Structure 1
């Protein structure tokens, strides 16, 4: 059972209208991919390539999409490279195709240096996905990355298909969880064949209009890796919210949603891997809701509300 489950409810607006030359326009951000390009990552990169069209379609088909451009940065040890910043699907695909995996050596990689470079080449409010199967070597960059991500209001998500087997509390492994928590992102633990399915999270994350979110995190080393535990998260839905996404990382996940009257709103599971689940709550009405999450291992929950458009709202 969970010995404790550190929970905070922070419901906020990620993107707000801003003024450009005195006129109101929607602020645009970047969708960012930070990719470990060592030899063992070939399968992960192949899975990412398969999802390019669906990600571009989701990001660009809506007139009010928050995504302006796409960024790719690669890293290994000791090299990092800014591969592209582009709005063009063909250019993005070519940048992915041009990634040549090689090396690996001592396992730990310059993940945080790559992440720093990506943040420096991204717009404020960007959504960042880092793909790796290793721990971070460059821990001296951790505070710089955290500060930069928070200043730019970027959310950091980590797609982990392995580690260096130094234990769950190894500093090079823990840093990913710390950065995710600090930026209201998540760490997804996956098999290499599940990367494509996990990227449905990216497809959902680029949906247009304002986003509200709440997050809850368990603590490593004090949770059961075998026995699922129940954790309850209460959240409010404003009048301008049309759908709610509940993204959970953990093991053996199930999610149950109820409204204030005890009713069960319609839900659908839009993505599921061995270490993550995304549940969409459809046709929500304003009011109070409860999400009961069952999971084992270290668990994080991010609840995101997709608005109907119009003026931004903020709920506390």
Structure 2
């Protein structure tokens, strides 16, 4: 480990040689995060430049921020704006797993190259690299990134915990990533390696001269629970290492820069960075440049998934789904709005699946062309089973669209679906035609087992999506929402739901960076009035008004604002006693991502993702990464708050600026019920205030998490479900388990 917080597990985006992350606990200059960040961004830059040269275009970022790097990497500005949110999220996944090695495997010598566990540590690296390459070939990018984080932690620890740099080596030990090469000249267990450090701390020359002269490789022993170590062996050192108090006392760790090891610490950081670059280059060579960028989360737009009912009554709906898919593919191919991947999950009764996913648009065209409406009878279908398959098979933050004309009979999965939505932060929208099959359900006596259209509404609201009920004839008009949302740099400005409905006025900020602003309203027997900052208004029955166009289909109102929209505070006054939803979206590179975090203790304490949801009535911490148009200098964050879905409770958080657009937000108490995250700030580029909101509704937990350091199933918890998804990644999520 390169510092006491090498276990810190969040993005410290490193540009122009700088490093930042959570403030180091106990001091130190370099961390796993900074070392990994330097190498990852250098390799991404190399790959982006190589691809640009192949395509015959310039690679000229307008600045050194992640946002500008992604924009330059994916193409000229004329093809549209792109967001760096997915890149930053992907890097966070790497850093999370890197840091959590210090929590989950704190007492494993192999994971840290402690206690001369060289063969075991090398095996973790080589097996991990093989797994990364295999997962990239299968397009299992999340699993590959998580494995990369763990592998890099172990690789980097070698240079801090062994005597490699003391032996005078300035280049990485290539044999660590080469399973075909032997590990040579290792000190055996009976060979003394260190002299006693009389002060009991760290000494600058504690490694025995004969070990240095003979180029014998050793590493410090680490004892968290026991002071035992073989006679004459070096210790890791530090207050948490019990072996360091046993003769020979002291330690050889170069985790932090101290007065006795400044040159060695710097050398270890330098060679660990080079080793990280070499490993990344090895992965790049196996993956190819284009898949390497996808592996790193650099892609144009979100994943688009279709969950389609194929029962006999769905002929017209399937034809519309085919038309929409073809339109998306044809209109967005080669642009910044081209989806990074397509997923298809058909369902019938009683069958559902298989899940088909591809980044090749022509393959998706062929697959969806094969769909036929057949079977199903009068029974409701396995809609939620198909949706569950899509949620577990698609990457996080995907857009999922469900086509059906009947209610689901697998209602028992509802709580599981909600848990998966919260875990993956994916958005689910339903297109439901027909009468919901209520009469059929009643005739079959399935009231207790089948869902209703309200079930779909609940799931859509929980995910930040829409539940649209239309006739089969009007379905083509409703699917414009798919075209709207299958776009890059999509952000949510405001989203609210009211059940029961009531008269209420909602305010929202529009900033200069926003384009293609669209307002979606679902509900029945409602009226609304939209007002801009100058006081100009437009009502729901004005199809072409002064502020934009209003399209009505089924229970959906789609309001597209004019391109010359006015920045500032807008209002929309809703009036209905029926349930309704309101959502305001647009395209902008100003965005944010967040996760709930907790501290962990140990020899290298830090922050890690919480396992599950925040606890009821307890303080909580969020790690929030904000992206601007030109990096961290181009925005200022005013406040971050948790807002209940009903809008009646707002809990503000105390902000701690961690640098590089990262903020640690502490709230004294998580609000009860469902809530979202709301962020306000100022865009420095245009001097306009901006507002952004998370789409997925979160909720509190009433159970306690128990973490295990077992390598096969890292988390065990009461009332917590888990599975290994199609990417080979371990997924755990909360569910209300029925006894």
Same fold by TM-score greater than 0.5 = yes
Instruction: Tell me which protein shows more helix as a share of its residues.
Output: 2
8 A contact 2:355–2:389 mirrored in 1: no
What is the alpha-carbon distance in structure 2 between the residues aligned to residue 311 and residue 293 of structure 1? 36
- Report the Cα distance in structure 2 between the residues aligned to 1:152 and 1:184, rounded to whole angstroms: 12
> Cα–Cα, structure 1 residues 291 and 95, in superposed 2: closer, same or farther, change >3 Å?
same
Residues 1:172 and 2:451 are matched in the alignment: yes
Q: TM-score, normalised by structure 1?
A: 0.81
Compared CA separation, residues 294 and 239, structure 1 to 2 (3 A): same
Tell me the residue number matched to 2:324.
51
Partner of 1:262: 535
Aligned counterpart in structure 1 of residue 588 of structure 2, from 301, 307, 310:
307
Larger radius of gyration: 2
Corresponding position of 1:190: 470
Q: Kindly tell me: are residues 32 and 198 of structure 1, through their superposed partners in 2, closer, same or farther at Cα, counting changes over 3 Å?
A: same
- Return the match for 2:569 from 288, 293, 296: 288
Native 8 Å contact 1:14 1:125 kept in 2 = no
Q: Could you give the per-residue CA deviations for residues 66-104 of structure 1, whole angstroms, max 9, x where no partner exists?
A: 720111101122101135212333322221221122222
- Secondary structure of the residue that 1:101 maps to in structure 2? coil
Return the alpha-carbon distance in structure 1 between the equivalents of residues 574 and 517 of structure 2.
15
Are 1:117 and 2:117 matched, yes or no?
Answer: no
Tell me, in whole angstroms, the C-alpha distance in 1 between the residues paired with 2:331 and 2:589: 16
- Higher strand proportion: 1
Assess, with a 3 A threshold, how the Cα gap between structure 1 residues 60 and 291 changes in structure 2: closer, same or farther: farther
Q: CA deviation at 1:236?
A: 1.3
Query: What is the match of residue 400 of structure 2?
Result: 128
Query: In structure 2, do the counterparts of structure 1 residues 72 and 14 end up closer, same or farther at CA, with 3 Å as the change threshold?
Result: farther
Q: Secondary structure at the match of 1:137?
A: coil
The answer to whether the 8 A contact 1:157-1:185 is kept is yes
Q: Contact 1:129–1:156 (CA<8 Å) still a contact in 2? A: yes
1:283-306 Cα deviation digits (max 9, x unpaired): 334311012346675322211122
- How far is the alpha carbon of 1:134 from its aligned partner? 1.0
Of the three residues 477, 481, 484, the one matched with 1:204 is 484
In structure 2, what is the Cα distance between the partners aligned to 1:25 and 1:94? 26
Alpha carbons 2:490, 2:585 under 8 Å: kept: no
Aligned with residue 217 of structure 1, among 468, 485, 497: 497
Unaligned runs of 5+ in 2: 1-82, 92-279, 281-292, 442-446, 538-545, 591-628, 636-678, 681-690, 692-739
Unmatched tracts of structure 1, length 5 or more: 1-12, 224-228
2:348 is equivalent to residue 76 of structure 1? yes
Equivalence for 1:103? 375
Closer, same or farther in 2 for the Cα pair 1:206/1:296, shift >3 Å?
farther
Which structure has more relative contact order (CA 8 Å, sep 6+)? It is 1
**RMSD over equivalenced CA pairs, Å:** 3.0
Tell whether 2:415 aligns with 1:143.
Answer: yes
SS in 1 for 2:376: coil
Contact residue 112 and residue 145 of structure 1 kept, 8 A? yes
Task: Work out the CA distance in 1 between the residues paired with 2:365 and 2:306.
Answer: 12
Distance between the aligned counterparts of 1:137 and 1:207, measured in 2? 33
Describe the shift of the 1:57–1:235 C-alpha distance in structure 2 as closer, same or farther (beyond 3 A). Answer: farther
1:77-134 CA-partner distances (Å, limit 9, x unpaired): 2101135212333322221221122222343111111001111221211111111111
Alpha carbons 2:308, 2:403 under 8 Å: kept:
yes
